[in-house]
């Protein structure tokens, strides 16, 4: 019998009791067909491939990452906590050396959930990869992490969470935001003033096939990961780039996904999107599992696959080659500090965000202190059509003593002023997480 060359743990959580609606593409069948396919192929009979049960993330695990207003309980269900816990279980499996690699096949997804959360956007309430990464850092110290998002939609939430973090390299390959939700993810989005070049966006044109994705991986993703030298590589494994996906316009195949997975060599993969529930997901996930385990995936074929029909045009090929060359130049020589305002030693940017799933509009100002000794305390002033003015303050990992003191000063002054309905403080140095309702 074949043995996995890379011992692999697989965490399943279909979330039977959570769906946006009974017929919405984000529903439990996304994973049930995959589960059936893996069992039919005898994947769990292969020595070295193990099925694992998810953990349950706590409210503190979420509050370590997000400013949830009014609180974590208001924006999550048990399914969200188990989904994040499934990602944590995958990470724990790798760190405790139960397996060399792990794949969290879980839902609900998370990569559209930003640092501040008022509700659900892009089917996402909390960022399950970020909850996992910060759980790891809380227990194993200041890890350098590369997150490669291969979902067809720009991972705007993960980008937002790590915008000011120089120890997280976030790379998103996605359909060009001029043609698809959320309308972001352009090459000049490079990160905050103390983290320029650690946010990388590779917008690809509609019709990009295996050829284009694998070119971007070889020419952009892998060289930048080599430069960054991460302790862990994580794949936000969205699968809606598939040629049969009903809500996107790309031309990727199950074989292409498996080859990308082999090239990336991620330690941990976490499922994101993918809505061709019967025709693509079982086969793409099978290819990913076999590839992560170091097994032969050459036989994996989805129904209706015709290489000629999904081949990208010469025009698309030329465009991708040009874009990739430009992206590497920009990332290695970033022009900063980016779009925003500098005043009194703070860099601020203003955002208007729409939560499409919950029909909420948010108005937010993010301000980061330009400190010469650390990445700087970050302050979020935010209000939405669901919540009045709220305040979030973070003293990040590695913050200097002055920035930690400044975070507490801002938080305490906010309580005294009485202008904020809800306040939250994340002190990652002292591992102290506070909240207050005025």
Query: What does 233-273 look like in DSSP terms, one character per residue?
Result: EEEEE--TTBTT-TT---BB-HHHHHHHHHHH--SEEEE--
Looking at the domain assignment, is residue 2 inside a domain? no
Please name the residues in contact with 283: beta carbons below 8 A apart, sequence gap of 6 or more. 37, 254, 300, 301, 302
Question: Within a domain: residue 3?
Answer: no
Do 364 and 312 sit in the same domain of this protein?
A: no
Alpha carbons 369 and 377: distance in angstroms, whole number: 5
Which is nearest to 422 in space by CA: 61, 58, 75, 134? Answer: 75
**Among 306, 332, 358, which residue terminates a domain?**
332
Per-residue pLDDT tens over the stretch 151-192: 999 999 999 999 999 999 999 999 999 999 999 999 999 999
pLDDT tens string 374-419: 999 999 999 999 999 999 999 999 999 999 999 999 999 999 989 9
| pLDDT score, position 30 | 82
Exposed/middle/buried for 193, CB within 10 Å: 0-12, 13-18, 19+? buried
Total number of domains constituting the chain:
2
Check pLDDT > 70 for residue 70: yes
Which residues make Cβ contacts (< 8 Å) with residue 174, sequence separation at least 6? 149, 151, 152, 153, 154, 155, 180, 185, 201, 202, 203, 204
Higher per-residue pLDDT: 327 or 25: 327
Q: Do residues 254 and 327 share a domain?
A: yes
Q: Are 149 and 275 in a shared domain?
A: yes
**CATH code, 230:** 3.40.800.20
Per residue in 262-305, pLDDT tens? 999 999 999 999 988 888 999 999 999 999 999 999 999 999 89
Instruction: Quote the pTM value.
Output: 0.96
> 290 and 356: one domain?
no
Out of 332, 352, 370, pick the residue that ends a domain. 332
Does any domain span residue 206? yes
User: Residue 136 — pLDDT band, cuts 50, 70, 90?
Assistant: very high
Q: Residues with catalytic annotation?
A: 112
Domain containing 402: what range? Answer: 341-437
b/e code 227-250 from CB counts within 10 Å (16+ = b): ebebebbbbbbbbbbbbbbeebbb
Instruction: Using DSSP bridges, classify how beta strands 360-369 and 346-355 pair: parallel, antiparallel or unpaired.
Output: antiparallel
The pLDDT value given to residue 386? 96
* Per-residue pLDDT reduced to its tens digit, 336-387: 767 788 899 999 999 999 999 999 999 999 999 999 999 999 999 999 999 9
Burial (0-12, 13-18, 19+ Cβ within 10 Å), 187: middle
Residue 1, pLDDT score: 59
Is the pLDDT assigned to residue 243 strictly greater than 90? yes
pLDDT score recorded for residue 99:
98
């Amino acid at each position: 019998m074949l043995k996995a060359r890379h011992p692999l743990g697989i965490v399943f959580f279909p979330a039977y009791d959570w769906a946006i609606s009974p017929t919405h593409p984000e529903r439990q069948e996304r994973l049930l067909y995959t589960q059936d396919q893996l069992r039919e192929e005898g994947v769990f009979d292969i020595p070295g491939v193990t099925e694992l049960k998810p953990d349950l993330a706590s409210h503190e695990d979420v509050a370590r990452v997000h400013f949830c207003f009014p609180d974590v309980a208001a924006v999550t269900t048990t399914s969200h906590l188990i989904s994040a816990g499934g990602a944590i279980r995958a990470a724990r499996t790798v760190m405790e050396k139960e397996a060399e690699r792990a794949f969290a096949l879980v839902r609900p997804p998370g990569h559209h959930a930003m640092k501040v959360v008022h509700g659900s956007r892009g089917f996402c309430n909390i960022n399950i990869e970020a909850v996992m990464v910060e759980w790891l850092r809380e227990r194993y110290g200041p890890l350098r992490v590369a997150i490669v998002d291969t979902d067809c939609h720009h991972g705007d939430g993960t980008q937002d969470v790590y915008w000011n973090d120089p120890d997280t390299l976030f790379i998103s390959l996605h359909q060009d935001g001029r043609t698809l939700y959320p309308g972001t993810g352009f090459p000049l989005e490079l990160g905050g003033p103390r983290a320029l070049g650690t946010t990388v966006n590779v917008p690809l044109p509609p019709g990009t096939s295996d050829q284009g994705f694998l070119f971007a991986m070889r020419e952009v993703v892998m060289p930048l990961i080599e430069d960054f030298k991460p302790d862990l590589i994580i794949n936000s494994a969205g699968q809606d780039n598939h040629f049969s996906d009903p809500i996107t316009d790309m031309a990727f195949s199950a074989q292409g996904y498996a080859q990308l997975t082999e090239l990336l060599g991620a330690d941990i993969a976490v499922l994101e999107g993918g809505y061709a529930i019967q025709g693509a997901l079982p086969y793409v996930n099978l290819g990913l599992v076999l590839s992560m385990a170091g097994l032969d995936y050459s036989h994996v074929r989805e129904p209706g696959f015709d290489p000629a029909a999904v081949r990208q045009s010469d025009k698309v090929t030329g465009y991708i080659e040009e874009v990739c060359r430009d992206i590497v130049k920009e990332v290695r020589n970033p022009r900063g500090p980016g779009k925003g305002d500098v005043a009194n030693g703070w860099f601020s940017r203003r955002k208007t965000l729409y939560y499409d799933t919950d029909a909420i509009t948010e108005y937010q100002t993010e301000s980061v202190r330009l400190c010469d000794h650390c990445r700087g305390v970050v302050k979020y002033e935010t209000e939405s059509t669901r919540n009045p003015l709220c305040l979030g303050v973070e003293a990040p990992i590695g913050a200097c003593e002055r920035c930690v003191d400044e975070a507490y000063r801002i938080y305490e002054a906010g309580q005294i002023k009485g202008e904020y309905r809800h306040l939250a403080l994340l002190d990652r140095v002292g591992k102290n997480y506070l909240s207050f309702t005025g």
